[in-house]
Amino acid sequence: MWRMLQQPEGDDYVIATGETHTIEELVRIAFAHVGIDDWKRYVRRDPAFMRPAEVDELIGDASKAREVLGWEPTVRFEELIAMMVDADVAALKAGW
């Protein structure tokens, strides 16, 4: 964000790893992070909220951020999910 703000003109940048992951993969990693391997017992899929595939894959292209800002991803997908889960657990413990 700081590098974006240092640019002489405002612009749009995609911040992405260039990897693709499924929602199921995210859920599996999140549950495993708190010690739950059988996540399917706790998750329901509602067909009303399933969107039809608009494209085969959605992958962010951060080449502009890389070229203009010198930005590279430093956090892997699994680490990001762990950070998000840890933040939610901390918020619950704090009474949010």
Q: Could you read off the pLDDT of 62-92 as tens digits, one per residue?
A: 999 999 999 999 999 999 999 999 999 999 9
Q: Is the pLDDT of residue 52 over 90?
A: no
The CATH fold assigned to 2-48+56-93 is: UDP-galactose 4-epimerase; domain 1 (3.90.25)
Residues of the chain above pLDDT 70, percent? 100
- Are the beta carbons of 15 and 71 closer than 8 angstroms? yes
Check residue 10 and give its pLDDT. Answer: 94
| pTM flag (> 0.75) | yes
Domains of the chain, by residue range, sit at: 2-48+56-93
Q: How confident is the model at residue 51 (pLDDT cuts 50, 70, 90)?
A: confident
